[in-house]
Amino acid sequence: MATGSNQQPSIDRCRPGAAELISVLPRGTRHERSFAYWADKQLAPQGLWWWRPLSSAVVGVSTTAMGVLLSLGFKRVVVEDLHKLTDIIEDPLRSRPVITIANHESTLDDPIMWGVMPMRMRWNPDYSRWTLGARELLYKNPVLNGFFALGQTIPTVRGDGIYQLAVEIGLRKLAENKWVHVFPEGIVNQSGRMLRFKWGVGRLIMESERTPVVIPMYFRGMKEVMPLRQKVPLPHPNPFKSELFLRVGDAVDFTAQIREWKCAREKLSTVEQRERLDERVRIEIVDQLWGTLDKLKAESAPELANNIVNLGIS
């Protein structure tokens, strides 16, 4: 895997970093204090002796429960090319972080989709994703704040743009060589046609200290299990009817593109010129990702989904 030039570009901005964004979070209520506490702890779990065992328990129980749900609640679970993800995540010599992207069919896509992961990976937080999840849906009270923080879910505020706290935490995780998952459509989309991707994933790729390996994933079957606008927002898996299909695509390497961007950036003399270049490259990367995932979707026709896997539930 080529590493290329992995020095982070000099980003001309007076925007606050993660620590500064956390320092200005409101702390008037118990919920607000709890949220600020866990957001701060997500920045430095490596230095907390208690973080790893608690995170391992939350991640392990959650993914194992999702594996059981897939086995018992679905008539058929089809997974293609999962090794394209697991081989990279488990590689002991991996020197670059990983970003996975996927379409977004329901509010339960994460964590249900990770129920397909091998049992050997489920209890190791190093082999689990950090995912950007909607703060308003997940971080609702002090108990849930702790649960989702330990479950490696980064609180994201829809509409707050690419310079919000969630993206800063995501960049910190990438700097730690972690795996970050993004639903780049930004919202649940059950229309059958992918929405244009948000720019946050472009910033994660461009400003990571080491250019991430990007792996696209396409799945279907959750919009029937968890449809939008139902009176009671509960999943309806059907062991006699429900089917879930997931396919992992080939890794995308942006090393050369990021190198060219950095070289071009160094030749520009003003902040405005560099910001225009940054935006153009960010759009190019996001559009390329959209095209990659749309192609994976087109290649994943229902008649091709016939490689049923054993989820290894024990």
Which tens digit of pLDDT belongs to each residue from 50-78? 999 999 999 999 999 999 999 999 999 99
Return the amino acid letter for 86.
T
Question: What's the length of the chain?
Answer: 314
308 secondary structure, DSSP code: B
By CB atoms closer than 10 A (0-12, 13-18, 19+), residue 54 is middle
Q: Which CA distances in Å does 181 have to 93, 99, 200?
A: 21, 6, 12
- The pLDDT-based confidence of 211 (bands split at 50, 70, 90) is very high
pLDDT of 164 strictly over 90: yes
In the chain, % of residues over pLDDT 70: 91
Mean per-residue pLDDT for 149-175? 96
pLDDT of residue 188: 95
Q: What is the mean pLDDT of residues 228-240?
A: 88
How far is 226 from 230, CA to CA, in rounded Å?
8
The greatest distance separating any two alpha carbons of the chain, rounded to the nearest whole angstrom, comes to: 64
Provide the residue type at 299 as one letter.
Answer: E
Is the pLDDT at 306 greater than 60, yes or no? no
Write down the mean pLDDT value for the chain: 91
Average pLDDT for residues 259-279, to the nearest whole number? Answer: 96
Q: Which of 225, 160, 236, 234 is nearest to 198 (CA)?
A: 160
- The lowest-confidence range among 222-231, 237-246, 289-298 is 222-231
Q: What is the mean pLDDT of residues 162-174?
A: 97
Label residue 219 exposed, middle or buried (CB < 10 Å: 0-12, 13-18, 19+).
buried
Residue 2 pLDDT exceeds 80: no
Q: Are strands 98-102 and 179-182 parallel, antiparallel or unpaired?
A: parallel
Residue 310 has pLDDT above 90, yes or no: no
| Residue 229 confidence class, pLDDT cut points 50, 70, 90 | confident
Q: How far is CA 35 from CA 76, 128, 149, in A?
A: 39, 22, 9
pLDDT above 70 (res 305): no
Say yes or no to pLDDT of 300 above 70. yes
Whether 63 and 128 have beta carbons less than 8 Å apart is answered as yes
The pLDDT confidence band at residue 232, using thresholds 50, 70 and 90, is: confident
pLDDT tens digit string along 31-41? 999 999 999 99
pLDDT of residue 172: 96
Structure tokens at 222: 């959750």
